[in-house]
């Protein structure tokens, strides 16, 4: 009996020790009545960062990093999308959605020649990827602050020996989890300098967002601004960078990806509907739809497109309103999905339009969006946008780069001209005919920035809208088209990025935000600009798709 008790005690102790080593322990919440002591901070802060770094290693989210060199206007840019992975070691794997630009700009040239992404670039999302240990950092309590109704403990951090993160942390008061950090570090300077192949000093403001079924917080957005020195620091060209992270739920599911093989849909099984066989046209459409579904599922598995949702239906409403005046009439509606990239783009996949977040963000109104989509609807109606071999399961069992190359098809001059003519007919006879004034300004903004922002305006997108001299194609009847007036605060040619689309970092769901109504002051038009990212942190909630 005694031996049994001893054995039980030993086993319980072993289980306790193993569990303690497996996951950093949660900290006890600070008392409301008194500020934390310096000794408590040396336990709480390292513990909070260690827990976050431990937790994130179970995920492989998608990361969109868009960089601009900007003075009073945008001068050059670099667009990157990849996947953050921690196993077996920390790495950022590129997703090569676009061919790099060959422009010889300060940023775009580097993007074209980039062969490797330094894993240390994860410093965009964490104050220190090696943790904030008490022997390396000093912590000072600054007070409490409420962010979107969440009470936070605010702590300043300084490295004990000169190098390391220097700034502030905001930790949720009851659970002691990191919600925000702001500051800079030598690691951040080195990582961004290596990524952009040029030295600089940078500052980052990074936010977490509620996510997961357990009410945890996950890295969501980061905004980076380069420090410049001189007499005119406000207008001096400097680096601006945004990092957006999503797709945690996708990597958490850990389910194998399966693709639709060529199958006969139950709706057309001949032995179930009076022995009738599908017609050749029906089978051909089924082949196209299977190919379409396969590539959409593949893109979703890579975190490149958002979950199907309300925003897609809003955008689809624009495309399908154009179809109402198509001749001959079209009985098969268009599907739309949101492409989660900063670049402006529309990709035709069968009967589906992939419309980028950047395009929806920057379009001033629905008329601007309709004018862009009209050309791609022209390609869609011509059925010249899908490779039938994508319906076969093995077609997508290839390296990602090989599959992504199939998205940006090359269209002949005759196909582009035919799509232009279709677009003109659709627009001139649609409900948008009298609502295209702002689209003239929007197209002008695209033309003005096409040579300066090859990352935001990739060549694969511009070839649909402009000729080789970057002159916008296909004329639309616009009564008294507006003339660009930089001094008119009521006239917008393009909105800054992040104006309309909200992305849920956990579920990859997207939401259309109301059109901003803020009065615009001098120098605040910010066409296609990167602005500070500020998600709503609110109270943690369970993600709907994890219930």
Mean pLDDT of 474-479: 55
pTM of the predicted structure, to 2 decimals:
0.84
Best CA proximity match to 292, nearest among 324, 238, 332: 332
Least confident of 120-124, 128-132, 270-274, 352-356: 270-274
Contacts 24+ apart (CB under 8 A), 356-361: 357/501, 357/503, 357/510, 358/456, 358/497, 360/311, 360/315, 360/500, 360/501, 360/512, 361/495, 361/496, 361/497, 361/498, 361/499, 361/500, 361/501
Max mean pLDDT among 31-40, 294-303, 477-486 falls in 294-303
Report the pLDDT averaged over residues 356-372. 95
Residues 389-439 have pLDDT tens digits of: 777 878 877 778 777 777 777 788 888 889 989 998 999 899 998 888 888
- Whether 486 has a pLDDT exceeding 50, the answer reads yes
Contact between residue 61 and residue 247 where contact means Cβ atoms under 8 Å apart: yes
- Please determine, for residue 212, whether its predicted confidence score (pLDDT) is greater than 80: no
Any idea which residue has 């511009």 for tokens? 462
Please tell me the predicted confidence (pLDDT) of residue 131.
Answer: 93
pLDDT of residue 512: 93
Residue-wise pLDDT for 505-540, tens only, equals 998 999 999 988 888 887 788 999 999 988 888 754
Residue 475 has a pLDDT of 56
Least confidently predicted of 57-66, 271-280, 323-332, 472-481 = 472-481
Neighbour order of strands in the sheet with 137-147? 91-94, 74-85, 62-70, 238-246, 216-226, 202-211, 178-185, 165-172, 150-159, 137-147
Residue 376 pLDDT: 92
pLDDT of residue 252: 65
Task: Write 416-420 long-range contacts (CB < 8 A, 24+).
Answer: 416/463, 416/464, 416/473, 418/378, 418/382, 419/375, 419/376, 419/378, 419/379, 419/382, 419/464, 420/375, 420/378, 420/473, 420/474
pLDDT-derived band at 232, boundaries 50, 70, 90: low
Measured distance CA(17)–CA(13) in Å, rounded? 6
- Residue 255 has a pLDDT of 44
Pairing of strands 335-339, 238-246: unpaired
Per residue in 11-55, pLDDT (tens digit) is 444 444 444 434 455 555 555 557 899 999 999 999 999 999 998
Residue 379: name the closest of 409, 343, 336, 400 by CA: 409
Q: Which of 346-360, 362-376, 471-485, 493-507 has the lowest mean pLDDT?
A: 471-485
**In the prediction, which pLDDT does 231 show?**
57
Q: Give the pLDDT band (50/70/90) at residue 495.
A: very high
Taking only the tens place, the pLDDT of each residue in 152-200 is: 999 999 999 878 999 999 999 988 999 999 999 999 999 999 999 989 9
Summarize pLDDT for 324-362 with one digit per residue, the tens.
888 777 778 889 999 999 999 999 988 899 999 999 999
Kindly report, residue by residue over 96-118, the tens digit of the pLDDT: 888 777 677 888 888 888 878 88
How do residues 244-298 score in pLDDT, each as one tens digit? 999 998 876 554 444 444 444 545 454 554 456 778 888 888 888 888 888 899 8
What pLDDT does 85 receive?
87
């Amino acid at each position: 009996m005694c031996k049994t008790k001893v054995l039980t005690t030993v086993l319980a102790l072993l289980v306790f020790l193993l569990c303690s080593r497996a996951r950093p322990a949660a900290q006890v919440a600070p008392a409301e009545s008194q500020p934390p002591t310096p000794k408590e901070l040396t336990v709480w802060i390292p513990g909070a960062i260690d827990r976050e770094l431990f937790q994130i290693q179970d995920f492989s989210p998608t990361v969109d990093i868009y960089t601009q060199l900007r003075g009073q206007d945008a001068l050059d840019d670099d667009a990157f999308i990849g996947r953050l992975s921690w196993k077996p070691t920390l790495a950022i794997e590129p997703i090569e959605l676009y061919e790099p630009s060959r422009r010889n700009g300060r940023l775009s040239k580097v993007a074209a020649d980039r062969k490797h992404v330094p894993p240390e670039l994860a410093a965009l999302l964490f104050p220190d990827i090696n943790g904030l240990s008490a022997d390396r950092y000093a912590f000072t309590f600054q007070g409490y602050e409420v962010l979107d109704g969440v009470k936070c403990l605010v702590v300043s951090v300084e490295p004990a020996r000169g190098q390391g993160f220097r700034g502030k942390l905001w930790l949720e008061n009851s659970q002691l989890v990191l919600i925000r950090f702001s500051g800079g570090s030598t690691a951040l300077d080195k990582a961004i300098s290596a990524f952009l192949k040029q030295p600089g000093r940078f500052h980052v403001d990074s936010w977490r967002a509620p996510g997961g079924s357990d009410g945890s917080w996950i890295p969501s957005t980061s905004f980076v601004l380069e420090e410049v020195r001189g007499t005119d620091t406000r207008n001096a060209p400097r680096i601006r960078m945004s990092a957006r992270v999503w797709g945690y739920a996708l990597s958490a599911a850990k389910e194998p990806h399966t693709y639709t093989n060529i199958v006969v849909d139950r709706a057309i099984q001949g032995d179930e509907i009076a022995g009738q066989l599908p017609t050749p046209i029906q089978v051909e459409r089924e082949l196209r739809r299977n190919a379409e579904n396969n590539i959409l599922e593949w893109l979703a598995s890579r975190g490149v497109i958002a979950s199907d949702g309300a925003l897609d239906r809003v955008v689809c409403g624009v495309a399908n309103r154009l179809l109402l005046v198509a001749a001959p009439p079209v009985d098969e509606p268009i599907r739309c999905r949101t492409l989660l990239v900063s670049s402006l783009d529309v990709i035709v996949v069968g009967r589906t339009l992939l419309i980028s977040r950047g395009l929806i963000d920057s379009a001033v109104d629905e008329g601007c969006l309709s004018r862009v989509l009209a050309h791609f609807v022209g390609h869609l109606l011509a059925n010249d946008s899908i490779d039938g071999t994508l319906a076969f399961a093995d077609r997508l069992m290839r390296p990602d780069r090989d599959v992504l190359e199939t998205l940006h098809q090359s269209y002949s001059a005759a196909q582009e001209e035919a799509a232009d003519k279709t677009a003109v007919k659709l627009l001139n006879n649609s409900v948008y005919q009298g609502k295209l004034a702002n689209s003239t300004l929007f197209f002008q903004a695209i033309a003005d920035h096409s040579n300066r922002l090859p990352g935001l305006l990739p060549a694969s997108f511009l070839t649909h809208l402009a000729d080789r001299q970057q002159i916008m194609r296909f004329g639309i009847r616009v009564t008294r088209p507006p003339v660009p007036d930089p001094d008119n605060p009521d006239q917008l040619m393009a909105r800054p990025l992040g104006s309309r689309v909200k992305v849920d970092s956990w579920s990859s769901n997207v939401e259309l935000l109301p059109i901003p109504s803020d009065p615009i002051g001098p120098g605040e038009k910010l066409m296609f600009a990167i602005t500070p990212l500020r998600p709503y942190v609110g109270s943690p909630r369970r993600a709907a798709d994890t219930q």
